[in-house]
Chains A and B, each alone.
Chain A
């Protein structure tokens, strides 16, 4: 009996310690070694390689920042964490940010993240079909089943733009939502006729005999900036210095990533589990120095055209 009571007492103490510890640690960020801790929500994919490189190369420490990179499964987890102030910054594609802003979430882009290479057939994402498929170009996608990772977002709107550019009928294409890792299996089984994939699944698909029929980001706009780092307007107003320092460190990281593609391929092995044998075959996105405003307007236009947002999006308000 005494043992059980002792165990119970110990258990409740542990619980108290756990609760107390958690709250104290997160509510009041302390300065550690003179560096300001900053939390950034990222998705563990190729696109965020520059920020990992920047941390490794000390570009953030130069600005007095100590970033904690919090990997999340997708924008669904990142956007609320930034909007509520749990995270200072987050990584997201621009269509998601346009939609979020049109729904009244006050978000602001602070740095570009990743962009298309602008070279058709040699981009980091595209529409792939099975080896023996009769589909030859984006035009043939009309009436077919195409898998995208999120419905009503950047990938289905840009695939529609691609079909439009090729002179096809974008209305009749049937989109299905599938996670990137599940797409190639679905394509093989014939559950879908085409899949819109990004690296590393694009390289995997091409290695397995898949055929690229469209580079949807390239067809949408030249040098399309696809994703970037954002913060909430509240954080931007409360900590302007932090935002400025983060943007500066990010600029340097993006430039370093552009100049050192081999370092990008190498750092991938630290935060992803991509097969080292595959990294050489990956097509890297570009890491633009600034957000391409024109491309952003194009994305906003597509979002309105495809009914993702009801009113004309406020692109200027999104930009820094």
Chain B
């Protein structure tokens, strides 16, 4: 069959009809199943040492043990709470400052080099500073989360504001729209797709920094549980918690994409597949 397919034009089977590729979810599941099988077999066949990478089934067992403890659920809630607060703060600050800076050319010129200087500083490098200022509690981690995701949002909003159609902008000016009206009717609809991209990027970065902060600083959450499992030599439990963090990442991305689609349902980039 493979010979027949490769001989024909791609996408057509032997009968000449359109050959449907398997649906995306099936491909996704196959990929996941392959990963799980590799994780199960590599330690069992002795390819890697079972003491340092236990088989997948052992991780699942450890995860079940973890899920039975109150501590696990409390940590999960702490991580999600820190992520949500941090992301919300970054979004609010990023959008407000982005529209303000982007809307005033003078301000944009004045801040451009400062932003380019501050943006690439890795949040993790600020850990000692955060610990000195706020101790080892959740606020230190929050600083990292907000700092990292704020730039993702701000830069996107700046691009969005820049993308406003000059004709529309001039028209708004000719009609003497008040600043707030201009933001609402001209800038915001153009910037919204960029804001949503910033939201999606920021959501992922916020989760990464939340877990990093917990892991390194020791503020409450799943990251700290991973660190405790590590210092206890509980390898399977550690991987189990890492899997949970990965699953949260998938969930965060799904939610961010759904939000994006909802907020932009009028936008051509989202509407197009419905039209076609």
* Chain A residues, Cβ within 8 Å of B91: 11
How many Å lie between the Cα of A272 and that of B230 in the bound state? 9
A151 at the interface (CB under 8 A from B): no
* Chain A residues, Cβ within 8 Å of B8: none
B130-166 interface mask toward A, CB cutoff 8 Å, 1 = contact, 0 = none? 0110111111001000000000000000000000000
Contact, CB under 8 Å: B52 / A185: yes
Contact, CB under 8 Å: B234 / A43: no
A204 at the interface (CB under 8 A from B): yes
Contact, CB under 8 Å: B51 / A273: no
Known interface pairs A71-B218, A273-B229; A84-B51 also in contact (CB < 8 Å): no
How many Å lie between the Cα of A162 and that of B193 in the bound state? 65
A65-80 interface mask toward B, CB cutoff 8 Å, 1 = contact, 0 = none? 0000011110001101
Contact, CB under 8 Å: A15 / B89: yes
Min CB–CB distance A264 → chain B (angstroms) = 15
* Chain A residues, Cβ within 8 Å of B142: 18, 22
Could you say which of B128, B132, B138, B228 contacts A273, with CB atoms under 8 Å apart? B228
A41 at the interface (CB under 8 A from B): yes
B85-104 interface mask toward A, CB cutoff 8 Å, 1 = contact, 0 = none? 10011011001000000000
* Chain A residues, Cβ within 8 Å of B135: 26, 81, 84, 86-87
Chain A's interface size range is 35 or more
A1 at the interface (CB under 8 A from B): yes
Dominant secondary structure at the B interface: helix
* Chain B residues, Cβ within 8 Å of A188: 49
Contact, CB under 8 Å: B228 / A71: yes
A52 at the interface (CB under 8 A from B): no
* Chain A residues, Cβ within 8 Å of B228: 44, 71, 271-273
Could you say which of A12, A87, A274 contacts B233, with CB atoms under 8 Å apart? A274
A319 at the interface (CB under 8 A from B): no
A275 at the interface (CB under 8 A from B): yes
* Chain A residues, Cβ within 8 Å of B132: 80, 84
Interface centre among A15, A78, A179, A204 (most CB of B within 10 A): A15
How many Å lie between the Cα of A87 and that of B138 in the bound state? 14
How many Å lie between the Cα of A248 and that of B263 in the bound state? 60
Residue of B nearest to A17 (CB): B85
Contact, CB under 8 Å: A14 / B85: yes
Residue of A nearest to B91 (CB): A11
B45 at the interface (CB under 8 A from A): no
How many Å lie between the Cα of A278 and that of B224 in the bound state? 22
Contact, CB under 8 Å: A22 / B92: no
Could you say which of B92, B128, B231 contacts A12, with CB atoms under 8 Å apart? B92
Contact, CB under 8 Å: A41 / B136: yes
Known interface pairs A8-B92, A15-B92, A184-B51; A204-B233 also in contact (CB < 8 Å): yes
A190 at the interface (CB under 8 A from B): no
* Chain B residues, Cβ within 8 Å of A185: 49, 51-52
How many Å lie between the Cα of A11 and that of B95 in the bound state? 12
A94 at the interface (CB under 8 A from B): no
How many Å lie between the Cα of A73 and that of B214 in the bound state? 10
Contact residues of B between 212 and 229, Cβ < 8 Å to A: 215-218, 224-225, 227-229
Known: A1-B188, A18-B142, A86-B134. 4 other contacts (CB 8 A): A26-B139, A86-B135, A86-B136, A185-B49
List 24 A-B residue pairs with CB atoms under 8 Å apart, sorted by A's residue number.
A1-B188, A4-B263, A8-B95, A22-B139, A22-B142, A26-B135, A26-B139, A44-B228, A44-B231, A44-B232, A70-B136, A70-B137, A73-B215, A73-B216, A77-B131, A77-B218, A86-B135, A86-B137, A181-B231, A185-B51, A188-B49, A271-B228, A273-B228, A275-B232
